[in-house]
Amino acid sequence: MKNLEESSWWSKHLSKTMFTIYFVMIIAVSLLSLMALFVSLNSKIDAAYIPKVSKIVMSSIMVLFSIGSLKLMMGYLKFHRKAETIETAAKLKQKHTDLSEIEALRLWNEYHISRAFVPLIPDKIWKLRQKRLNELWDAGAE
């Protein structure tokens, strides 16, 4: 149970990081595209350029959907919540001395099944956050 708690704790934090990265990226691309559109519409440029600018804006927003950014972001958020739930359950089950193997395996399988349906977390994110998260884990912080 201790191993499951630690695994889900790490997954919770790393998936939250990935969710944040995708969220910021989606908001930034959307806002920059819309700002470019509004600036081009309000500036005194030749009317022939407006369709070209709108095509660029629409294609930059559509690329977010075509590469699946929104789906990835929501997948990371869902896994963050699931890992948090499993971490809490693992903590509670550690306190019970009458924990059966079946209950432990059920929780272990639940974690790994939810992990299998989520996009992979890049190693680079783990390497960037490793030192800080190790400090948090050692301190016993959430």
pLDDT tens for each residue of 73-106: 999 999 999 999 999 988 888 887 777 788 888 8
- Report the predicted TM-score, pTM, of the whole model to 2 decimal places: 0.83
**pLDDT at residue 20, as a whole number:** 95
Number of structural domains, the chain?
1
* pLDDT tier for residue 109 given thresholds of 50, 70 and 90: very high
Would you say residue 42 has pLDDT above 90? no
* pLDDT tier for residue 141 given thresholds of 50, 70 and 90: low
Range of the domain at 98: 2-139
Please identify which residue in the block is written with the tokens 């470019």: 36
